[in-house]
Structure formats: structure tokens, C-alpha cells
Amino acid sequence: MRVLVAYASQYGATREIAAQIAQTLTDNGIEASLKPVDDAMSVEGFDAFVVGSAIHASHWLKPGVQFVEHHAAVLAKHPVWLFSSGPIGDAADKPQPDPKEIAEFRTEITVRGHVVFGGAFDRTSTAHGGWLERTVGRFIPEGDYRDWADIEAWARDVAQQLKASEPVLSR
């Protein structure tokens, strides 16, 4: 069972979530490969996919959207789980709506599950950005709002679902 854990991350918090998901899958007997989204990368040879993106203004990052759209034909033939990260500050503790693209993805591929995890923001991550990024960054609540226990529990659930369907997937 080979699973690709692909992610779109702007400041690194989503990458760290994806790395924890890949590690948890591996710890639960699933061969997981961790890669940043890239339209040019091959998705052949994987039995399942976990794809995630940071959320900005209720939307996935453009590279994450493009990855799913570009590889939709392959993703449609395999189990797929999606995750989003981004709510910070007070919003991180409240239920979050799906990013706008998730409904569209569900029309193209079978999404076995989608979850929104809290994100993280370190103001120094915008220090080398442009004027707009630095200016907006001053108003974003700084801190780490990721719940690692929730992330690991979700990844364990994905691993259990994959193991339960393994004979079907390997046919």
C-alpha cells in the first residue's frame, strides 16, 4: 500500500501537518511518501492519496487546486482524503466551513474525508515578502493553533480505512 501525502504550504505550517500525517501513516503500517504539490510530478504507482493545502481567504492555495485539477483522472480511481489548514486565533477553535474548492473537488473525485485543522503563523515568515504581505502580516494573529493529537487521530483513522480496504485496492 503506497500513499502519496502531497501538500501546498506558504509558510511551512501545512508542510509540518503533512509530515505528521505521513509519519503517522508510516507508524501504522502504510508506506507514505511526502511531497510538495507539483503538476509535473508523477502520481502513478500510488494506491491512495492524502492532499492538503493552506487556506487563505476561504480558498486553497493555487498550487494545491492546480494539483488536484491536473491529476483528477488518476485521483478519481483511488481513495483520496483532503485536509486544509489555516484557521488561526479565535477561529481555530470554531468549526470551519470547507474551503470553496472542496465542493468542486467532490464532483471530480471521490473524497473519502476532508478536515480543517488549525494553522500556525509566525510573523517573521513574512519578513522577506513584499510590501503587501508584510503589511497584512501585521494584522494576522501570531501563534501555533495546530492540534497535533487531532492530526494524528485523523491520520490513524485514514490508516485504518486503508488497511480495511487493502485487499480491494490491490486487485
Q: Give the chain's mean pLDDT.
A: 87
* Pair 41, 63: CB distance under 8 Å: no
pLDDT of residue 163: 93
The residue assigned the cell 517573521 is 124
Residue ranges per structural domain of the chain: 2-169
Q: Is the domain 2-169 a CATH 2.40.30.10 member?
A: no
What pLDDT, in 10s, does the model give residues 30-55? 999 999 998 678 999 999 999 999 99
For 92, half-sphere exposure in the C-beta direction (CA atoms, 13 angstrom radius) is: 19
The one-character DSSP state at 166 is H
Q: How far apart are CA 52 and CA 121, in angstroms?
A: 17
